[in-house]
Structure formats: structure tokens, C-alpha cells
Amino acid sequence: MKSTAKAAAHPNIAFIKYWGNQNHELRIPANGSLSMNLEGLDTQTTVSFDTDLDQDQLVLNGEIVGNEALDRVSSLLDRVRELGEIKTKAHVLSENNFPTGTGIASSASAFAALTLASITALGLCLSEKELSQLARTGSGSASRSIPGGFVEWQAGTDHDSSFAETIAPQEHWDLVDFIVLISKEHKKTGSSQGHRIADSSPLQKARVADAKRRLDICRKALLEKNFQNFAEIVELDSNMMHSVMMTSDPSLYYWQPATLEIMAAVQSWRSEGLPVCFTIDAGPNLHLICPAEASQAVKRKLGALVNVKSILTCTPGGPARLLEPEITGV
Ligand code: PMV
């Protein structure tokens, strides 16, 4: 017997970043974070629990995947099976509409879509909060891809208190995120490993102690649509996370010369009055955020930079959503 569901989710870009965990197993983060879902980028995942299977199977963008990626998916499915009180294995088919190998992290959208699809395939019905908690155990940032729009993830202290919620709907602020690709290389050290070594940096304690202040400033600037205050705190937060990365053991250097070149260009454009700021995740590529009114001007400026390989354009996105429930019983 087979029971199938298909769900979709957007990745998200964090304005206040998640880096380091209180509990690695459950991915309870060291600090709260705040993000925007990215309309334009999508992961679509179909989960079929099938009594004929003797192990979980994962097909990612048309390729059969095993080892670590499959183990991580199976761990999330184990939690779902425990909730559904079944042992049936599943076939997981996951597709990103953005090119793989572009260095864009897809674990947030992947685990959000996987969570919603697998829960639905078993005929279970969880609240948004419960879905966010569950998605978090697969990839921390996936907790933020369950709710829609602008989202805050409360760090909490345990499984029940650590989840993400919408703080403003996607229509709240017409922001544009230009994802500026300067390298298509896969990152050498993924975020799961990065979170594990965050505490080895002497700067992490100070970064975490100051997180509530940054979150308060960012949330206020976002709710008031005050771009100047927003820009300054978003860049500071990204720089603080990268300072921790660079000073952890072993040190992680995600920036490349072109990353720094564009960071400096963005700050100079802003000082000339163009409302735009940068934020950078665990890789060399940049996200340039600006209000929609400034997007044409920012695009023109970017067009003049020689190191830019390609640009993806995103706007605020909605929540994880169900595409196909097709339940025939397990
Ligand atoms: O959810 P993870 O383990 O992929 O970690 C995400 C880490 C950053 O993208 C660097 C920051 C963030 O908050 O999204």
C-alpha cells in the first residue's frame, strides 16, 4: 500500500543569522534569528510511504542520493514515523527550481517541504508551530521556511519552545533580494559542521550575548520599514557571524576577493543614497537587499561589476504549502 503527498517550500534569507547550537541533536540554536522567505525559489518534494520498500530512498534533482544526505532525510522520516506509529519506509523525490551547484543553500526549503509532505502523506495534521519544530530537527533554518513572509525563530531552550512564526506577512514590505553569484563551487564546510565549531571561536559568546539587541533593532526597522536602520543591522549581523566563522577552530573563510569587492561597492552605493545592503551566508555569494523602488538602479550597478557570474531575483515569499494530497491508507 502506498500513501503519497507533495509539498513545496521556499528557501529563506536570514537578516539576523543562526550560527551555533545549544543542542546539536535537536538543532536548538544558540540565538534567535529573523528571515524572509524567497519567492522565486522553490523546492518541491513528493513523499510516498510504500509497504513494498525495505529502506528509504532519495532522488534529488533526478539523481539517486545515498550516504549522509539520505541519513539526514531518514532521521526526519523516523520522527514522522514515530508520530504516525508506523515503520513503513518512504520514497522521497525532491526537485529545486534553482540550479544545483550554485552555492544557494537548499536545506531550508528541502526540509520544510519534506516535513509537510511526509506528515500529510501519513494523514497526520500538525499545527504550523509543530511543523516548524519538526522541520528544525532536519535543518535549523528549515523551521523558518514553514511560516510565510517575514519570520522570527525563537531560539527557545528545548524542542517545544524552539520554533518560527510570521512577524509580518509577505505583502508587508516590497523588498527585493538579488542573489549575486560569484562562484558556483560547493561550500567546503557545510553549516551543520560550522554550527558544531561555532563555540570554538572566542567571539561567539559576545555574538550570542548581543543577539537580542540586534533582533530587536532588526524587527523594529522591518516593522517600521526603516531601510537605513535595517541595512546597518543586517550588515553588522552578517559581519559578526563571519567573524565567528573566521576565528573558529578550524577557521572558516567563506568570502572570496570578489565578495569583499561587492561588499565595499554596496556600502559606497548606500553612502551615495542608494538604499541597498548585503548579507552573506555560509558561502561566497551575496544577497543584496533593497526596496523594490531601488531595484532597477541596483541591477544597473551590479551589471557593471565584472566578477558577477549571474543574479537571481527574489521577493518576499509565502509559507510552505501542500500541492497534492493523495492518501489511500498505509
Ligand atoms: O539551517 P542550516 O544548518 O543550513 O544553517 C543556516 C546557517 C546560515 O544560513 C549561515 C544562517 C541562517 O540563519 O540561515
- Confidence class of residue 47 from pLDDT cuts 50, 70 and 90? very high
Mean pLDDT, rounded, for 100-114? 84
* CA 18 to ligand 1: nearest atom: 13
- Confidence class of residue 13 from pLDDT cuts 50, 70 and 90? very high
- Is the CB of 143 inside a 6 Å radius of any atom of ligand 1? no
Please choose from 10, 18, 238 the residue to mutate so as to test ligand 1's pocket, defined by most ligand atoms within 8 A of CB: 18
| Cα 182 to chain centroid, rounded | 19
What is the grid cell recorded at 37?
522567505
Using CB atoms within 10 A of its CB, is residue 77 exposed (0-12), middle (13-18) or buried (19+)? buried
- Is the CB of 283 inside a 6 Å radius of any atom of ligand 1? no
What is the grid cell recorded at 273?
543614497
DSSP-derived secondary structure for 171-187: TS--EEEEEEES--PPP
Kindly give the distance from the C-alpha atom of residue 33 to the centroid of ligand 1, in angstroms, as a whole number.
Answer: 10
CA-based Rg of the chain, rounded to a whole angstrom? 19
The predicted-structure confidence for 113-127, as pLDDT tens digits, reads as follows 999 999 999 999 999
CB count, 10 Å around CB of 250? 8
| Cα 317 to chain centroid, rounded | 12
Under DSSP, the state recorded for 293 is: G
The predicted-structure confidence for 48-65, as pLDDT tens digits, reads as follows 999 999 999 999 999 999
What is the grid cell recorded at 127?
499545527
- Residue tagged 500500500 (cell numbers): 1
| Cα 324 to chain centroid, rounded | 23
* CA 108 to ligand 1: nearest atom: 1
pTM above 0.85, yes or no: yes
What is the grid cell recorded at 203?
567571539
The predicted-structure confidence for 131-180, as pLDDT tens digits, reads as follows 999 999 999 999 999 999 999 999 999 999 999 999 999 999 999 999 99
What is the structure's pLDDT at 90?
Answer: 98
